[in-house]
Amino acid sequence: MKFPLLKIALCVLLLTPVRQAAAIRFTNVNSLYGISMRWTFSICEDDYGFIWAASRTGVIRLADGDHRLYRLPFETGNASRVKLSYRSPSLVTYTDNGQIFALDPLRDEFVLKVNLRTLTNNSSITIFRLLIDERPDVFWIASSVGLLRYTVGGEITRIQGMGAESYDAAWLGPTELFVADSEGFWLYDTVTSALTPLWSHGDDP
């Protein structure tokens, strides 16, 4: 298989119209609100139009002329990256060192859901990407120990048949995951558990 996904991606990029630079306006949030927020790793927009940004300082919520900074209740403080995952109505923040937080809309604060390093008794596990399932209490996690399925308050399962490390994942449909791991690219159906190889490192370039 000769990189079909790469060819498709290049075609999409070439055919996508580019907006004129004049239509883009950048604003320095630190100057605008008088705050100090560094090393932003992730940004998303929710269904209400709020912009959320995550950094090691915490998570900031932005609206026209207003902002709020949410502190994260870290169980361990040695996280080097803090990212966001949003799937209406759930907003989740996670760190590379295995801590997962969810926004509690009633308390309007982030609460710790799980520390994967504690749960798995693995002090070196690293999260690269977390995706929220259609069922908001189910997370799919690309990690240093492979693709994981975690149910909040329940069990964690490693998906078999894939590489030892999963570097990234993205939704291609309501139940289909595209996964990049140490062995290649895969499609994984989260309902039927069907696993389809797309490309492996052993294929001809």
Domain count of the fold of the chain: 1
Range of the domain at 168: 26-200
Q: What span, in angstroms and rounded, lies between the C-alpha atoms of 44 and 151? A: 23
CB atoms within 10 A of CB 37: 18
DSSP labels for 132-173? E-SSTTEEEEEETTEEEEEETTS-EEEPTTS-S-EEEEEESS
How much is the pTM?
0.84
Tell me, yes or no, whether 3 lies in a domain: no
The burial class, CB within 10 Å (0-12 / 13-18 / 19+), for 152 is middle
Tell me, yes or no, whether 19 lies in a domain: no
Question: What digits encode the pLDDT tens for the residues 61-105?
Answer: 998 878 899 999 999 988 999 999 999 999 999 999 999 999 999
Confidence of residue 170 (pLDDT cuts 50, 70, 90): very high
Question: What digits encode the pLDDT tens for the residues 45-64?
Answer: 999 999 999 998 899 999 88
Tell me, yes or no, whether 11 lies in a domain: no
Q: Tell me if residue 33 falls in helix, strand or coil.
A: helix
Tell me, yes or no, whether 193 lies in a domain: yes
Tell me, yes or no, whether 135 lies in a domain: yes
Minimum mean pLDDT range among 1-10, 21-30, 72-81, 127-136: 1-10
Tell me, yes or no, whether 7 lies in a domain: no
Tell me, yes or no, whether 16 lies in a domain: no
pLDDT beyond 70 at 2 = no
